[in-house]
Amino acid sequence: MSFSAIVVAAGSGLRAGAGVPKAWRHLGGRAVARWSLETLAAAGASPLLVVVAEDMRVEAETALSGLSGITLVPGGATRAASVQAGLAGLGDAPDDHRVLIHDAARPFLTRAHVERLLVGLEGGQGAILALPLADTLKRNDEAHLATPSREGLWRAQTPQAFRLAALKRGYEAWDFSVEPTDDAQVVTNTGGKVALVAGDPMLFKLTYPEDFVMAEQLAGGARQVRTGMGYDAHRWGPGDAVWLCGVSIDHDQTLIGHSDADAGLHALTDALLGALGAGDIGEHFPPSDPQWRGASSDRFLAHAAGLVRARGGQIVNVDVTLICERPKIRPHRDAMRARVAEILAVKEDQVSVKATTTEGMGFTGRQEGLAAQAIATIEQPR
């Protein structure tokens, strides 16, 4: 059954300091808001609305580029106003439609949290993730230090899941002389039944500067670095130009192959596929398939880079070595780096192209063919 999600990200993050609102600060190489949005998108939230301050819209678009199915909605002056802006942006849906409200400032959301909430919502108007209090409570009264009971007290987190009509009714009835601090409060205020489901300490909200220190450590653990290698060789034959690392070089021979025989790009494509554990270039682009005859190899490489991004990963760096006696690679090296960087949509300093001869030895030394090897390092969610 379908559900929508509203992620509120329009706050200014004053308590966290650092100038940039916390949803758009970087955490482990991605914007804070992007972390939970990737999870919600993968869990099937649709529509998926992100409530954004008007002056952060451009930053938000950049930070969320490549994530499909997201709609930006202008935020309000308070969290509750931002949630209401999101609700207005949802448009019409049946009364029992399920909607998740989430703080962008809680990045470590998983599919398991979402599934738990949706189960908790069955038969009620709301379900929230909550944790029992573990620490002893103190109230610092002027006269003495009081120790209130923590019996029956819970810490409420987000996402919080609701039936659309119950949430709308709650907000319509709320008297804004006091700001609600979460959405469950407005639903229970109108008699809505809200269930508690098991929360998670990992879902903590980034509020103070020290929360970012902890989050950076957790973000490192949530990503993994992977490496792959690739190798390719093609035979020399009659011709007057050769494609190497996406650049055409005038030469008295060409490389023979089913596609454009760009061994550099083929080795690099295999290195990326290797890092992903996603098979090899022959599986993705079978030589038996006529559509790849004479194909420009930049398509193969762009495809592999797209697979990295589709997993929420990114390319750290790549390194290609061309092995041949001729042509001389040095004069073309910068153009090759620039072209590979362009195909991969990374910066040039993430790309290296090198060349070596084998001093007359072996098939490359005898100039029967050219070989290329490549290594690629990527990082992706664990």
CA angle 189, 110, 13 (to 5 degrees): 65
- Contact segment (CB under 6 A) with ligand CTP among 2-10, 90-98, 159-167, 266-274 equals 2-10
**103 touches, from ligand CTP, Mg ion, none (C-beta below 5 to 8 Å by class):** ligand CTP
Structure tokens at 30: 């991605």
Q: How far is the CB of 312 from Mg ion (least distance, A)?
A: 28
In the complex with ligand CTP, the residue whose CB is nearer, 81 or 165, is 81
Q: Which residue is nearest to ligand CTP (CB)?
A: 11
Structure tokens at 275: 């890092």
Can you tell me the distance from the alpha carbon of 115 to that of 96, in angstroms, rounded to the nearest whole number?
Answer: 17
Q: Would you call 260 helix, strand, or coil by DSSP?
A: coil
Q: How far is the CB of 14 from Mg ion (least distance, A)?
A: 7
**138 touches, from ligand CTP, Mg ion, none (C-beta below 5 to 8 Å by class):** none
Phi, psi of 162 (to 5 degrees): -140, 160
Please tell me whether residue 357 binds ligand CTP under the rule CB under 6 A.
Answer: no
Please tell me whether residue 14 binds ligand CTP under the rule CB under 6 A.
Answer: yes
Among 24, 45, 103, 164, binds ligand CTP (CB under 6 A): 103
Q: How far is the CB of 158 from ligand CTP (least distance, A)?
A: 8
Q: How far is the CB of 11 from Mg ion (least distance, A)?
A: 5
Please tell me whether residue 23 binds ligand CTP under the rule CB under 6 A.
Answer: yes
Strands 48-52 and 369-381: unpaired
Can you tell me the distance from the alpha carbon of 292 to that of 148, in angstroms, rounded to the nearest whole number?
Answer: 72
Please tell me whether residue 10 binds ligand CTP under the rule CB under 6 A.
Answer: yes
Structure tokens at 128: 């929230």
CB contact burial 208-224 (16+ within 10 A = b; e otherwise): eeebbeebeeebeebbe
Q: Which positions lie near Mg ion, rule CB under 5 A?
A: 11
Q: Look at residues 19, 43, 27 and name the one whose alpha carbon lies nearest to residue 7.
A: 43
Task: Find the helix or strand (DSSP H, E) in which 5 lies.
Answer: strand 3-9
Q: What is the DSSP letter of 137?
A: P
In the complex with ligand CTP, the residue whose CB is nearer, 147 or 181, is 181
**1 touches, from Mg ion, ligand CTP, none (C-beta below 5 to 8 Å by class):** none
Q: How far is the CB of 70 from ligand CTP (least distance, A)?
A: 15
- Contact segment (CB under 6 A) with ligand CTP among 21-29, 242-250, 341-349, 363-371 equals 21-29
Binding mask 53-82 for ligand CTP (x = CB under 6 A): ----------------------xxxxx--x
User: For residues 271 and 308, is the Cβ–Cβ distance under 8 A?
Assistant: no
What are the residues whose beta carbons fall under 8 Å from the beta carbon of 115, sequence distance 6 or more?
A: 43
Q: What is the DSSP letter of 25?
A: S
Please tell me whether residue 129 binds ligand CTP under the rule CB under 6 A.
Answer: no
Among 104, 164, 272, 301, binds ligand CTP (CB under 6 A): 104
In the complex with Mg ion, the residue whose CB is nearer, 25 or 169, is 25
User: For residues 86 and 73, is the Cβ–Cβ distance under 8 A?
Assistant: yes
Please tell me whether residue 156 binds ligand CTP under the rule CB under 6 A.
Answer: no
User: For residues 266 and 372, is the Cβ–Cβ distance under 8 A?
Assistant: yes
Q: How far is the CB of 86 from ligand CTP (least distance, A)?
A: 8
Report CA torsion sign: 201, 50, 69, 342: negative
Among 5, 6, 8, 87, binds ligand CTP (CB under 6 A): 8
| Phi-psi domain of 28 (left: phi exceeds 0; alpha: psi -120 through 50; beta: other) | left
Binding mask 187-226 for ligand CTP (x = CB under 6 A): ------------------x-x-------------------
Q: How far is the CB of 382 from ligand CTP (least distance, A)?
A: 24
Residues at the contact surface with ligand CTP, assessed by CB under 6 A: 8-16, 21-23, 51, 75-79, 82, 103-105, 205, 207
